[in-house]
Amino acid sequence: MAFSNLPAAFKGLKIVHISDIHSGSFTDKQAVMKGVEKIMKEKPDLILFTGDLVNNTADEMADYMDVFDKLNAPMGVYSTLGNHDYGDYVHWENPEAKKANLERLKVIHHKLGWRLLVNEHVILENGQENDKIALIGIENWSAKSSFPKYGDMKKAYEGTREYPFKILMSHDPSHWDAEVRTKYPDVDLMLAGHTHGMQFGVEVPGFKWSPVQYVYRQWAGLYEQAHQKLYVNRGYGFIGYPGRVGILPEITVIELT
């Protein structure tokens, strides 16, 4: 991806972007490990995960801690929360139990060695002292009424204006049109997931189609508006239907130029 304002020290930076692991759907641990091995073979400088680590509960990760803890990169592994990470789709005995589940999930990110960004940002440096970029991560924020708005972009963005290049991790791609493009035009690249490409469709050179496009304007791949870019990852895992037809799982490799 080419950006005219990318600081010189970050030219050639290799990012692996993954999203929507949905560990509660997995039944083949060896296959899941092969995906992690593919990521590490890319030798990324930075790994970014844009939410939905589980389907509903933190304990879904119990058998996969020793898989996803293999992910590492020189500049770190950073993550955000997706709509499934809050336990909104399962019955809880009381609000305290639901809250405790989310706190356990946050601890899991930490145990994996991932830096979970919860409506906050970090500043990344790469070699030259004056060359810095901002990495912003927010909780789930959706323009769709059926999904929650836990994210606080204003809070996460505060303090980043001075940095010449900004990457935003935000799970739901509807956030891009609804808030990012209109209120934060200096966010250069937004990374999202969520749609899975509906795990069904047709994707061949020059043509892609999925029923999800009638709900989400941006649903898979790269989108550009003026100088801003959005990339929507098709998802590492699956939920509901145990597989995919036409829309394959995705590990995205991005090189900044």
Nearest to 21 by CA among 45, 55, 46: 55
- Exposed/middle/buried for 96, CB within 10 Å: 0-12, 13-18, 19+? exposed
Distance CA 87, CA 94 (A): 12
Distance CA 179, CA 148 (A): 15
- Residue range 47-57, pLDDT digits in tens: 999 999 999 99
The pLDDT of residue 146 is 87
Torsion of CA 65, 198, 232, 41, to 10 degrees: 40
The pLDDT of residue 148 is 86
- Residue range 123-177, pLDDT digits in tens: 999 876 679 999 999 999 999 988 989 999 999 999 999 999 999 999 999 999 9
Residue extents of the structural domains in the chain = 8-255
Query: If one looks up domain 8-255 in CATH, what number appears?
Result: 3.60.21.10
| Residues 163/134, Cβ–Cβ less than 8 Å | yes
The pLDDT of residue 128 is 63
Nearest to 231 by CA among 186, 195, 199, 184: 195
Q: Is the pLDDT of residue 46 over 90?
A: yes
The pLDDT of residue 130 is 77
CB-CB neighbours of 143 under 10 Å: 15
Tell me the average pLDDT across 12-19.
Answer: 98
Query: Would you place residue 13 in the very low, low, confident or very high pLDDT band (cuts 50, 70, 90)?
Result: very high
